[in-house]
């Protein structure tokens, strides 16, 4: 029994390492009403036939909130909040002062080559100025898994300017970090 367990774990780790997820596009609005949450659409390409759970990590200002909703592609499902994922992100890349990591895990394993689309919402604070956001995608062996692998990362600066009527969001160039 012990040999099977070790073999299964080794096979799973090899499967995670063989896969690749890459962020191809991030869509966000350019204006919103004060206090309004806004959608973020993250498009991810996969080039592996291996099946593993996917995860999404978002680095946001501490006073912001994030709510993940769903993913679509070869399979469709929910992005569930994961304390384990958030802790793994914080351990591997400590959040700067005034920021925090939020992690989400797919409710099912992602399978097949092609595109996935993740939809989530951000709720900004009411302060004008620049903020750094970081988006990470990766693979893991489940919501409370012991194996996590970051596969792509994008960073963007957002400038919030506005009054009581409209807040304008100016997005910096999305840049790769890997």
pTM: 0.80
Domains and CATH numbers, the chain: 2-176 (2.60.40.1510)
Taking CB atoms within 8 Å and a gap of at least 24, the contacts of 24-32 are: 24/115, 26/135, 26/154, 26/156, 26/174, 28/158, 28/169, 28/171, 29/169, 30/168, 30/169, 30/170, 30/171, 31/166, 31/167, 31/168, 31/169, 32/166, 32/167, 32/169
pLDDT in single tens digits along all 178 residues of the chain: 333 333 333 333 334 444 577 888 888 887 777 778 889 998 888 877 777 888 999 999 999 999 988 999 877 899 999 999 999 999 999 999 999 999 999 998 887 778 888 999 998 887 777 788 899 999 888 777 778 888 888 888 877 776 655 656 555 555 444 3
Residue pair 50/116 in contact by the 8 Å Cβ criterion: no
């Amino acid at each position: 029994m012990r040999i099977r367990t070790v073999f299964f774990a080794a096979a799973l780790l090899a499967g995670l390492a063989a896969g690749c997820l890459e962020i191809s596009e991030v869509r966000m609005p350019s204006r919103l009403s004060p206090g309004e949450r806004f959608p973020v659409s993250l498009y991810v390409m996969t080039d592996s036939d291996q099946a593993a759970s996917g995860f999404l990590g978002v680095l946001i200002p501490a006073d912001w909130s994030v709510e993940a909703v769903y993913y679509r592609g070869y399979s469709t499902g929910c992005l569930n909040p994961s304390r384990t994922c958030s802790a793994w992100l914080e351990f591997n890349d400590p959040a700067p002062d005034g920021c925090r990591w939020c992690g989400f895990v797919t409710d099912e394993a992602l399978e097949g080559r092609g595109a996935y689309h993740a939809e989530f919402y951000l709720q900004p604070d009411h302060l004008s100025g620049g903020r750094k956001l970081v988006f990470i995608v990766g693979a893991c062996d489940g919501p409370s898994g012991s194996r996590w692998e970051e596969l792509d990362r994008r960073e963007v600066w957002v400038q919030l300017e506005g009054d009581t009527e409209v807040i304008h969001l100016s997005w910096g160039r999305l840049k790769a970090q890997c």
